Amino acid sequence: MVAVRVENLTKRFRDETALDKVTFKVEDGEFFVLLGRPGAGKTTTLRTIAGLEKPDEGEIYIKDQLVNDVLPSERNIAMIFQNLALYPSWTVYDNMAFTMKIHKVPKEEINQRIHEVAKTLGIDYLLDRTPATLSGGERQRVAIGRALVRRPSVFLMDEPLGPLDALLRLNMRTELKRLKAELGQAIIYSTPDQLEAMSMADHLAVIHKGVIKQIDDPETIYNKPKNRYVASMIGSPAMNFLEGTFEATDTESYLNCSTFKVNLTKFKEPIERGSTSSELTFGIRPEHIKVNHEKISPDSFEANVIMEEPLGSETILHLNINKELVKAIVPPTFQTKYGEKLWIDFDMNRMHVLDAKTEKVII
Ligand SMILES: Nc1ncnc2c1ncn2[C@@H]1O[C@H](COP(=O)(O)OP(=O)(O)OP(=O)(O)O)[C@@H](O)[C@H]1O
Ligand SMILES: [Mg+2]
């Protein structure tokens, strides 16, 4: 069943458009991630679904019911905010009980629900303490617990792991995934962190300047980005882009990038069909470039080493191909030094060709 559906959500703040026809749907039990840089419109989307902002246009459905005119407190949604917003002078127990009291849940039941959830999250030993005496991770669990006890039909989580350090984020990521498996409710989760998005999402929406650029499962987002923005947002280091002109003879087609050519003969037809001009962009991820000390194929290019970034499990090489900077990933055992001439080959099964003007991915 569809838990949340938004259609053509548009929100303006004075003359600035924060959301532009945002449309998506989230099924029950689905972990749906909104991935976007600061200012992309993530919080505004969540606040609008929660009813804390009124959209200028568009519809919001929760469990098939149009809720545009339903009060936030009646939407059966729990939102976990970036800053957690726990009441500092109350105990963890009272923080968790608060909304249930407002909804006049009987005392016995409040007590039972809190102890149940506290046990699941491993925070039963914290119930008598105040937020100031908790660690960042404990506060995080309390905020999640406070949302859980309400048994909402949808969870909205706005960068909930934002304030945590790297190791704790990693642990909480695992815990949230486990929780998701147990819960069965829909979770809409916002983050600017692509790794977090990729590792947790069933589906993710890449949002930029209030516009959704693509919605897909993580694998498709990585392998088949629809446009340059999505291609550059996912992957670390980001995809390399090289500008060039498409040229075709009777027998061969290639992308002419000033001082070197990429052979695109086998993609001639889709490129001609999908492009608006001969100005194309070649896209290749650093992990899809082979680097060798010798020329291994007729298509190998010469490149010079500008810099090495050893990361332990792999090394990122910054290479110069005729003044174009290209990053490639090599094993940590790869031996090289500054200025050395190497040979690179693109994995032609993993490369992309984009229309330079529309920035759409053709291949
Ligand atoms: N109350 C407001 N008044 C005016 N402009 C606002 C308001 N709230 C958000 N905006 C603007 O709307 C746009 C989207 O903001 P939003 O907070 O949704 O982004 P975000 O993706 O959550 O960013 P972040 O990652 O920094 O939290 C921004 O340009 C922001 O300045
Ligand atoms: Mg935000």
User: In sequence order, which ranges of 103-135 are alpha helices (DSSP H)?
Assistant: 107-121
Task: Compute the distance between CA of residue 11 and CA of residue 287 in angstroms, rounded to an integer.
Answer: 39
The domains of the chain are located at: 2-233, 240-355
pLDDT above 80 for 260: no
Amino acid at residue number 353: V
CB of 191 closer than 6 A to ligand 1? no
For ligand 1, atom 27: residue with the closest CA: 38
pLDDT digits (tens, 9 = 90+) for 142-154: 888 888 888 888 9
CATH architecture of the domain 2-233 equals: 3-Layer(aba) Sandwich (3.40)
Beta-carbon contacts of 157 under 8 Å, excluding residues fewer than 6 positions away, are: 79, 80, 187, 188, 189, 190
CB of 51 closer than 6 A to ligand 1? no
Q: Do residues 344 and 321 lie in contact, with contact meaning Cβ atoms separated by under 8 Å?
A: yes
Q: What is the mean pLDDT of the chain?
A: 93
pLDDT digits (tens, 9 = 90+) for 177-233: 888 888 889 999 999 999 999 999 999 999 999 999 999 999 999 999 999 999 999
CB of 125 closer than 6 A to ligand 1? no
Fold of the domain built from segment(s) 240-355: OB fold (Dihydrolipoamide Acetyltransferase, E2P) (2.40.50)
Q: Determine the distance separating the centroid of ligand 2 and the alpha carbon of 139, expressed in angstroms.
A: 19
pLDDT above 70 for 259: no
Q: What is the mean pLDDT of residues 60-75?
A: 95
Comparing 2-233 with 240-355, is the CATH topology the same? no
CA distances from 288 to 138, 183, 223, 344 (A): 41, 38, 12, 10
